[in-house]
Amino acid sequence: MNFLFTPSTDKDVVAEGKAFVEGFILGVNVGIKFDRVEENGTLYARIYHPNGDIAYEIVKNGFSKLNQPKHTDFDADHFRHLKEGETIAKSKKSGIW
């Protein structure tokens, strides 16, 4: 799965997002599934957290926006789930919204 996220350029949102992710994963056993590494060094992976999908939480809290995947090998159901999180962030005007 390879979804492109665009992080915020607002330093306050970046700091808040960093603290959120650190608080979400520090001290917790997480799983990582490496999907692939491209020739330019771009790594595609997914982090599995016992309390939920970390990508969904990042998007739902407005720390990043979701871009349409450019590859054909993406998980459409997961992408829809992430878009739902983005809709929640937009409706609450959270983070970058």
Q: How confident is the model at residue 51 (pLDDT cuts 50, 70, 90)?
A: confident
In tens, the pLDDT along 11-37 reads: 888 888 888 888 888 888 988 888 777
| Mean pLDDT for the stretch of residues 84-94 | 95
Residue 1 has pLDDT above 50, yes or no: no
Rounded-to-integer distance, Cα 95 and Cα 49, Å: 22
CATH architecture under which domain 4-92 falls: Beta Barrel (2.40)
Residue 92 has pLDDT above 90, yes or no: yes
Q: Model's pTM, two decimal places?
A: 0.73
Q: Print the SS3 string covering 2-54.
A: CCEEEECCCHHHHHHHHHHHHHHHCCCCCEEEEEEECCCCCEEEEEEECCEEH
